[in-house]
Amino acid sequence: MLRAMKLMPLSEKREAIAQAARRIIDFVAARPDAVLGLATGGTMEPLYADLVAAHRAGLSFARLRTVNLDEYLGLAPEDPNSYHSYMARHFLDHVDLPPENAFIPRGDLEPMRAAAEYAGVLDRLGRIDLQLLGVGENGHIGFNEPGTPLDAPTRVVDLAPLTIASNARFFAPDREVPSRAVTMGTAAILSAQSILVLATGEAKREALATAFDGPISPECPASYLRLHPDCTVFADHAAGAGLMRLCA
């Protein structure tokens, strides 16, 4: 079984987040004009707080270009549940990254057009230098759900019932979670020069164990990361408890 993913020693949640943030901070300091792939989700909120703190301490994002993994279809950028709003709230409104350098799919366009436009953005930017990734409870990366082939393009996707259920916690009770999204495909994610995964909490235990120790299969898109030559995983004790191999 291939085991190319590098697992950092498991630590407490805050420490795992701080270490992942430190990697990104060091990367931006060394490569200020790079293309950085960004992720959303609850896991990443404290990581963005660390990036904002680094900016307040002097780190500039002014020359960076960022590309987000995904966006819900049917939500306008200004919708509080959109990933545009998430990124503004947790990161973009607090740093010096020019808004025109931050790319996120549009959820309010006709779906095929939204996907085609975002694929065009990714083509124009070229290879992503460092891609930050979370993992879904079902092993998704971005919104590449189970069943996604290795070389899937940037496209419109139907969200898995488990994804809709677990993301419902971010939506007001009277609001439905969108059932479709535009996601960067596995092909673009896996062609990033380096990948950094952050997984915390017990809810990620099974997905992480399958990604590391199960078959490399469309059933767990995160397992494809084992095929990547430079993928580092930061996990806390709760997320990493099911792993057969406990450190790098």
What is the set of active-site residues? 70, 138, 140, 145
Nearer to ligand GLP by Cβ, of 13 and 31: the residue is: 13
- d(Cα 201, Cα 78) in Å, to the nearest integer? 30
SS3 label, residue 155: strand
Nearer to ligand GLP by Cβ, of 63 and 237: the residue is: 237
CB of 82 to ligand GLP, least distance (A): 12
Order the strands of the 6-7 sheet from edge to edge.
6-7, 231-235, 194-199, 130-133, 35-38, 65-68, 102-103
Helices (H), the chain: 13-30, 45-56, 83-90, 111-125, 161-167, 186-190, 205-213, 237-240
Query: What residues line the site for ligand GLP (CB under 6 A)?
Result: 39-43, 69-70, 134-136, 142-143, 163, 167
Q: In 89-190, which ranges are E strands?
A: 102-103, 130-133, 155-158, 180-183
What DSSP designation does 221 have? G
* β-strand pairing of 130-133 with 155-158: unpaired
Which are the contacts of 56, defined by CB distance < 8 A and separation ≥ 6?
Answer: none
Nearer to ligand GLP by Cβ, of 59 and 114: the residue is: 114
CB 144 within 8 A of CB 69: no
Nearer to ligand GLP by Cβ, of 85 and 163: the residue is: 163
CB of 239 to ligand GLP, least distance (A): 10
- d(Cα 67, Cα 118) in Å, to the nearest integer? 9
CB of 131 to ligand GLP, least distance (A): 11
Nearer to ligand GLP by Cβ, of 55 and 90: the residue is: 90
CB of 155 to ligand GLP, least distance (A): 14
- d(Cα 226, Cα 230) in Å, to the nearest integer? 9
CB of 46 to ligand GLP, least distance (A): 10
Six-digit token pair at 9? Answer: 């020693």
